[in-house]
Chains A and B, each alone.
Chain A
Amino acid sequence: MTDKIVVDDVYKIFGPKPELAKELIEKGYDKAQIFEETGHTVGVQQASFSIHAGEIFVVMGLSGSGKSTMVRMLNRLIDPTYGAVRIDGNDITQMSREDLIQLRRRDMSMVFQSFALMPHQTVLENAAFGLEVAGIDRSEREPRALDALEQVGLKANANSYPSELSGGMKQRVGLARALAVDPSILLMDEAFSALDPLIRTQMQDELIELQKQKQRTIVFISHDLDEAMRIGDRIAIMEQGRVVQIGTPDDIVSNPADDYVRSFFHGVDVTKVFTGGDLARRDDAELINDPNADPGSVRDRLSKNGHAFAVVLDNGEQYRGVVTAASLASVNSLADAYVEVEPVDEETPLNEVLSSVAHATVPVPVTNGGGKYIGSVSQQFLLQTLDRTR
């Protein structure tokens, strides 16, 4: 995977003498102490990470954590005080104004929390804004803007004014405006935060759908963990201007770096985050790779290895069934001993796996789309996981 955006030891310090504040940061002072000592506000400090081409990278944090400052340094709406931001290998902090303007017109566009549409322009003119600024003729930019409006389902409203639209529709226009220039990078600053929950979920789905059609590098700012989990390929969590953890949604939920990160999960339903595949384990099951094996020998292996159950697979690791010592008693073939349990798909969210696991007499097998055995979810391990992420 290639790195599209590389943030290299970036600082943003607001105030006339940033070197004073930087010195204190290096001595380990926190934001509040630095403000008290020097009157400088630390926006972002010691930020280093890279964003892969084509991923949705969510930057998450509470208000004041520096996430909005962070995203604005990616297109230099805010100039970093120290450090480098490289896009496709070019350090934008060293770019001339002209090159920067070209970069903004060609490669990146932005979607804003409060939409930031131009009230005096129609929906179509708004969608064409980036193209207009880039000096593209009306005859070319209007079809392209219409295309973008079609992608967000607003083609019919092209001649309306923003004041005539609902919040969700306005943000679709904001999205269309960003898509119309066909950028490789999309910066979304709390883009869905101002929308009501139902519309927000809908927009998230649409964003994921758009991303399937054409992979862009999306940097998405959010304060909402559910949103981050839903759409993020990877998540960076910021606190006090610092990036405290970067990882996939699963990584972060299962191994939070500190109490701050953990505190985000209060009230978050982890059963929506985890899937059957995340909890599947193979180590407590006896694996039988031959559906025609003798039931007696299987029973011997169970008692010898101290396993409560065995999973029967054929040679392609295809799942066949689960047997236990009890079910193996007085049967002639393994197939007759299969316990009644329905395997679940590895993509099934945990909240749908819960009841199968609760009602099954054995750990529930998990398979992938092709029927291959992944592992089993035991009641004990499920409870442990829920307890750990509480």
Chain B
Amino acid sequence: MADASQYKLFAFNIGDGVEWLVNWIQTHLPGLLDGIAGVIDFIVSNLEHLLLWVNPLVMAAIIVIFGFWRAGVGFGIFCIVAMLLFFQMTLWPETMSTLALVLASSFVALAIGMPVGVAMARNDMVERIVRPILDLMQTMPPFVYLIPAAIFFGLGKVPGTIATVIFAMPPAVRLTNLGIRQVNEENIEAGLAFGCTPRQLLRKVQLPLAMPSIMQGINQTIMLSLSMVVIASMIGAGGLGNTVLTGIQRLNVGLGFEGGLGVVLIAIVLDRITQTFGTGHSSRVGLWARVRQALGSGGDSQEAGSTS
């Protein structure tokens, strides 16, 4: 068998290079790392405290009402069942912890990703630079960047969030870019013809018309961050991922299933609710309209509500 190193052109070792870079960042930019850690810790911890501070019954009721309002009666009932399942599995604190992690990393991913998407849409050069970076972020196995994340930020929720952000951000960037680029040319012309400045064009024409696509991106980002939950728990992010991880380590099928089911239920609830925000004004059914239609005071409106 041939020596794998026989075709190597330079003495330089790529792995060593990356290691050197990680060390360099750690020794020379501790302030930056601490800053990032501080901000992310602030967001995740406070969100988690908030979600756990609210009485579980109240929290469950809020989620059910939200599902009922945004996605209709059938989905409201599904939410009730999902909440009862969480209580039955006694996984409420883990669920809230996961929800906090997902919402926080989605928030950070969108806060960075959407402006990048806008910049990409407005400038072809930016698009050419950002696109390969997005490819890298999406295809690099997440386990690989768990290592530097743990080195930089130790174990816990912060590196878990950062790894999740890296994994979940690309669709938000891509779909924001795509949405803005796909806005009908005549609408852009209309904006310009009536005297929009570039900023007004973005705010009054491009972003609103790109909204369905941007909402798809937000939805995808949330879904992807949920799929990172188990992996992130390997560096101590906790939550339902930890339940699954424990199940794997102890070969406890039941525990693993419970954790997995929890993740699936959160995914369905978040997916259905966020989907409803991308479909424009026609889906803006008021909460009272939903209540009326639930009470059956209009078969027609129920029909109309369920098609949106």
Contact = CB atoms under 8 A, between A and B. Distances in A.
Contact of B280 (A102, A105, A115, A119): A119
A161 interface: yes
Interface string B161-193: 000000000000000000000001011011111
Contacts of A113: 186
Interface in A84-122: 101-105, 108-110, 112-121
B186 A133 contact: no
Contacts of A33: none
B200 A133 contact: yes
Interface in A220-261: none
Contact of A77 (B187, B193, B209): B193
A116 B209 contact: no
Given A118-B187, A118-B209, A110 B193 contact: yes
B195 A118 contact: no
B280 A133 contact: no
Given A116-B184, A119-B209, A120-B211, A132 B193 contact: no
B195 A105 contact: yes
Interface in B184-226: 184, 186-187, 189-197, 200, 204-205, 208-209, 211
B139 interface: no
B281 interface: yes
A6 B184 CA distance: 30
Interface residues of B, number: 21
A104 B194 contact: yes
Chain B CB within 10 Å, residue with most, of A72, A120, A130: A120
Contacts of B184: 114, 116
A187 B190 CA distance: 11
A365 to B, nearest CB: 50
A55 to B, nearest CB: 21
Contact of B193 (A75, A114, A118): A75
- Chain A: interface size category: 20 to 34
B50 to A, nearest CB: 32
B194 A118 contact: no
Given A113-B186, A118-B208, A118-B209, A187 B193 contact: yes
A189 to B, nearest CB: 9
Contacts of A109: 193-194
Nearest to B184: A116
B305 to A, nearest CB: 17
A120 B186 contact: no
A279 B260 CA distance: 88
B282 interface: yes
A361 interface: no
Contact of A120 (B193, B194, B197, B280): B280
A133 B187 contact: no
B189 A116 contact: yes
A114 B186 contact: yes
Contacts of B195: 101-105, 130, 133-134
Given A101-B195, A101-B197, A133-B194, A112 B189 contact: yes
B192 to A, nearest CB: 6
B259 to A, nearest CB: 41
B189 A118 contact: no
A72 B195 CA distance: 14
A133 B197 CA distance: 8
A57 interface: no
Nearest to B187: A116
A155 to B, nearest CB: 20
Interface of B: 184, 186-187, 189-197, 200, 204-205, 208-209, 211, 280-282
11 contacts: A77-B189, A110-B193, A113-B186, A116-B186, A118-B205, A119-B209, A120-B208, A130-B194, A133-B200, A133-B204, A161-B281
The 8 closest A-B pairs by CB, nearest first: A105-B195, A116-B186, A104-B195, A116-B190, A110-B193, A130-B194, A120-B208, A112-B186
Given A114-B184, A161-B281, 13 more contacts: A102-B195, A103-B195, A109-B194, A110-B190, A110-B193, A113-B186, A116-B187, A118-B190, A118-B209, A119-B209, A120-B280, A129-B204, A133-B200
